[in-house]
């Protein structure tokens, strides 16, 4: 066991503050990592504030981790001391169910173990990346393919925002010749725009913030639609092959469903704390349209995404913050005032 400094929420309405936590001793399959950078995901905020009603306290969020390997167990050959490594949303799963056997650990039938907040179906708490140090089984540690050390902070958000958008874009076979919508230009949304554009799709960004138009075009969108403007929306009726919705708040899905072609899919990745209003059934059945969901991505696919992003020179657009600014960052995130991912410089802790 070793002690390490971290930032934790002690209750839903108290600000995050410094605490000391314990990390396990490095076992034969473990990789010990000194955390350099940790991205700030909206799920961190949902969890710290118990918005999903399942938070274990103290809550140390953070699942977009990049750091330096400081020790490895005797069975570890994939990593050595001094390597740069990444940790995303999961640190374990059952390893033998049908989903785990298909490298889909995020859908583990016993529930994967989250990097923070413990196993999905309950159990001992786990502490995430808002800390100096972490110990993780090698099966859940990622190789970082980006070679420029100056980019490492901007690579961190790929570990959640990157894979959460990459996985559904791959699952629905997004590529050249397709018109793809991304809803919401936040952490996930801006990665969705970059990745879908790199896959060759024609990307349209839907936003509630008209002042993000220029940024969306710079990030790779071919067109930007202000979703509150009914006329702008109507111009795209029935024309989309796929729409990925990253919005963190409940909202009417029907205006987006109406933009889908026959047989096309609206995939939800945003996870609001209360349900969206009901979808219009006739709008679905007359065009055989689908609403789907998607959860992060498996470890193998996360590695594939990191390699894809390195190959296409994709990183996140970030604003670096010290650990001490996390509470203010959460407030700005709630106002959609993030360009486009906060990343904590862990040297500040």
Q: Name the one residue in this structure whose structure tokens are 């400094």.
A: 5
63, 114 contact by CB (below 8 A): yes
Nearer Cβ to Zn ion (201/248): 248
**Footprint of Zn ion on 80-109 (CB under 5 A):** 93-94, 97, 100, 108
Among 7, 32, 35, 43, binds Zn ion (CB under 5 A): 43
Q: How far apart are CA 104 and CA 301, in angstroms?
A: 9
Binding of ligand NAP by 270 (CB under 6 A): yes
Report, in Å, the least distance between residue 163 CB and Zn ion.
9
Nearer Cβ to ligand NAP (155/161): 161
**Strand boundaries in the chain, DSSP class E:** 2-8, 17-23, 30-39, 65-72, 84-87, 90-92, 113-114, 133-137, 142-143, 179-183, 202-207, 223-226, 240-245, 260-268, 290-293, 318-322, 341-345
Question: Interface with ligand NAP by CB under 6 A: which range of 29-37, 41-49, 53-61, 91-99?
Answer: 41-49
Binding of ligand NAP by 199 (CB under 6 A): no
Binding of ligand NAP by 184 (CB under 6 A): yes
Residue 94 binds which entry of ligand NAP, Zn ion, none, with Cβ cut-offs from 5 to 8 Å by kind? Zn ion
Q: How far apart are CA 331 and CA 283, in angstroms?
A: 36
Q: Which residue is nearest to ligand NAP (CB)?
A: 186
260, 243 contact by CB (below 8 A): yes
Question: Interface with ligand NAP by CB under 6 A: which range of 130-138, 254-262, 264-272, 315-323?
Answer: 264-272
User: Is the previous residue joined to 340 through a cis bond, with omega within 30 degrees of 0?
Assistant: yes
Among 187, 215, 305, 314, binds ligand NAP (CB under 6 A): 187
Binding of Zn ion by 158 (CB under 5 A): no
Among 4, 126, 207, 265, binds ligand NAP (CB under 6 A): 207
Binding of Zn ion by 305 (CB under 5 A): no
189, 156 contact by CB (below 8 A): no
Interaction mask 146-165, ligand NAP, x per CB under 6 A: --------------xx--x-
The maximal CA–CA distance of the chain, rounded, in angstroms, is 62
Report, in Å, the least distance between residue 198 CB and ligand NAP.
18
Among 69, 243, 248, 259, binds ligand NAP (CB under 6 A): 248
Q: Give me the sign of the Cα torsion angle 153, 155, 156, 161.
A: positive
Separation of CA 1 from chain center: 29
Binding of Zn ion by 279 (CB under 5 A): no
The CA-atom distances, in angstroms, between 86 and each of 34, 44, 83, 194 are 11, 17, 10, 20
Q: Which helix (H) or strand (E) holds 348?
A: none
Binding of Zn ion by 41 (CB under 5 A): yes
Nearer Cβ to ligand NAP (333/346): 333
Q: How far apart are CA 127 and CA 309, in angstroms?
A: 27
Binding of ligand NAP by 38 (CB under 6 A): no
Q: How far apart are CA 5 and CA 324, in angstroms?
A: 13
Question: Interface with ligand NAP by CB under 6 A: which range of 25-33, 64-72, 170-178, 331-339?
Answer: 331-339
Which residues of this chain interact with ligand NAP, rule CB under 6 A?
Answer: 41-43, 46, 160-161, 164, 184-189, 207-209, 212, 246-249, 251, 269-272, 294-296, 333, 336, 338
């Amino acid at each position: 066991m070793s002690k390490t400094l971290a930032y934790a929420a002690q209750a839903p309405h108290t600000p995050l503050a410094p605490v000391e936590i314990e990390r396990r001793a490095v076992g034969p399959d473990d990789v010990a990592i000194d955390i350099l950078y940790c991205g700030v995901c909206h799920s961190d905020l949902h969890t710290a504030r118990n918005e999903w009603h399942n938070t274990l306290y103290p809550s140390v969020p953070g699942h977009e981790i990049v750091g330096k390997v400081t020790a490895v167990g005797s069975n570890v050959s994939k990593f050595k001391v001094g390597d740069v490594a990444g940790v995303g949303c999961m640190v374990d799963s059952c390893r033998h169910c049908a989903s785990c056997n298909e490298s889909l650990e995020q859908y583990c039938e016993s529930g994967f173990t989250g990097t923070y907040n413990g196993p999905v179906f309950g159990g001992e708490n786990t502490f995430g990346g808002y800390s100096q140090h972490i110990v993780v089984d090698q099966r859940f540690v990622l190789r970082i393919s980006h070679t420029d050390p100056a980019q490492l902070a901007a690579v961190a958000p790929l570990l959640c925002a990157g894979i959460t958008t990459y996985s559904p874009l791959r699952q629905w076979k997004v590529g050249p010749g397709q018109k793809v919508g991304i809803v919401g230009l936040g952490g996930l949304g801006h990665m969705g725009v970059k990745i879908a554009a790199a896959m060759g799709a024609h990307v349209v960004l839907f936003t509630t913030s008209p002042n993000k138009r220029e940024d969306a075009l710079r990030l790779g969108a071919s067109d930007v639609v202000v979703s509150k403007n009914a006329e702008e929306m109507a111009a795209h009726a029935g024309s989309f092959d796929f729409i990925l919705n990253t919005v963190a708040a409940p909202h009417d899905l029907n205006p987006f469903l109406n933009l889908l072609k026959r047989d096309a899919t609206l995939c939800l990745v945003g996870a609001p704390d209360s349900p969206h209003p009901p979808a219009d059934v006739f709008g679905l059945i007359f065009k055989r349209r689908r609403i789907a969901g998607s959860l992060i991505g498996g470890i193998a696919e996360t590695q594939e995404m990191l390699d894809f992003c390195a190959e296409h020179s994709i990183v996140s657009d970030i604003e670096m913050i010290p650990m001490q600014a996390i509470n203010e960052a959460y407030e700005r995130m709630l106002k959609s005032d993030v360009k486009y991912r906060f990343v904590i410089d862990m040297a500040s802790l």
